Amino acid sequence: MSAFEVHQGTSPVILGLPHTGTDVPEDIWTRLNENGQILADTDWHIHKLYDGLLDNVTTVRATFHRYCIDANRDPAGVSLYPGQNTTTLLPETDFDGLGIWKDGEQPMQADIADRISRFHKPYHEALAAEIERVKAIHGVAILYDCHSIRSHIPFLFEGTLPDFNIGTDNGKTCAPAIEAAVFDVASKAEGYTSILNGRFKGGWTTRHYGQPETGVHAIQMELAQSTHLATEAVPFAYDEAKADKIRIHLKTILQRLEAAAASLKIK
């Protein structure tokens, strides 16, 4: 089983897809309890939602599930949101704070190095290679990291999550023009709510690769799953009508990013 899938394109935009994978090797699957085997915290159908929205876009998709290891966490184990509830590099609970492992089968220290080697490292090597390839073509690369999450998760946040959650680590991971282009489209999307650097400010991927001074810009989009799923519960079915509606705005966002690339080249 490969840890990732890559589709190479010639656009300056790269789509990162770290959480849509559902592959869990047998040696890990048998350690998950019944709750864990639901794989509830998947970014359900996000690769389908973005498919075909931008011609010649590069995609890098993790095929493994985040319960194997979270590809959007610092491999050193540093928390993204100190002082707030969040899941870790090797998750011990789901997003509701419920255990996902059988008794005595929780990940141990020895599992960390193994899973970094099997999953986390290969995915990020592939992503880094594509960023460098695209940057070599255009002089700039824009990483748009694609995510989704249930709109109601009291363990992680109060109330209802906005539909579009844009993260740039408070403007550190991309040029102002990138942040503005994405937020402009999201904030004007009729019937949707949006926020910039709210509860989700961009994960490790965005913060690690987003170095505007070098020509690499990164931005994270966390969509509420209510925007494209029939229900935010089993079986997490894709809703074509909802998806088609939001895809219009996502397409515009990606087109705006691509158009912005020319003005971002390092002089």
Token couple for 82? 């100190």
- Residue 257's pLDDT is what? 97
Collect all residues with Cβ–Cβ distance below 8 Å to 266 and sequence separation of at least 6. 139, 140, 214, 215
Place of tokens 């809703």: 239
The predicted structure's pLDDT at residue 78: 67
pLDDT at 191: 97
pLDDT at 242: 98
Residue 226 per-residue DSSP state: G
Tell me the average pLDDT of the chain. Answer: 95
pLDDT > 70: what percent of the chain? 95
**Residue 175: pLDDT above 90?**
yes
pLDDT at 266: 57
Which residues are paired to 15 by β-bridges? 59, 144
- What pTM does this model have? 0.95
In tens, the pLDDT along 203-261 reads 999 999 999 999 999 999 999 999 999 999 999 999 999 999 999 999 999 999 999 99
Quote the pLDDT of residue 84.
59
The one-character DSSP state at 5 is E
d(CA 143, CA 138): 13
pLDDT bucket at 264, cuts 50 / 70 / 90: confident
171 burial (CB, 10 Å; 0-12 / 13-18 / 19+) is middle
Tell me what pLDDT residue 262 has: 86
Superfamily of domain 4-264: Zn-dependent exopeptidases (3.40.630.40)
Residue 124's closest CA among 72, 65, 172?
72
Please say whether the beta carbons of 50 and 5 come within 8 A: no
pLDDT at 77: 75
Classify residue 189 as exposed, middle or buried by CB count within 10 Å of its CB (0-12, 13-18, 19+): buried
- pLDDT band for 167, please (50, 70, 90 cuts): very high
Q: Distance from CA of residue 178 to its chain's centroid?
A: 17
Q: Interhelix angle for 176-187 vs 240-260, to 10°?
A: 150
CB neighbourhood size of 40 (10 A): 19
Question: What are the residue boundaries of the structural domains of the chain, listed by start?
Answer: 4-264
Summarised one tens digit per residue, pLDDT across range 106-125 is 999 899 999 999 999 999 99
Report the pLDDT value the prediction gives residue 80, as an integer from 0 to 100: 62
Task: Sheet with 194-196: list strands edge to edge.
Answer: 4-7, 58-62, 13-17, 141-149, 216-224, 164-167, 194-196
Q: What is the pLDDT of residues 28-37, one digit of tens each?
A: 999 999 999 9
Q: pLDDT tens across 52-89, in order?
A: 999 999 999 999 999 999 999 999 876 565 555 466 89
Report the length, in residues, of the chain: 267
Give the per-residue pLDDT at 144. 98
Q: How far apart are CA 257 and CA 36, in angstroms?
A: 37
**End-to-end alpha-carbon separation of the chain, Å?**
42
The alpha carbons of the chain give a radius of gyration, in whole angstroms, of 18
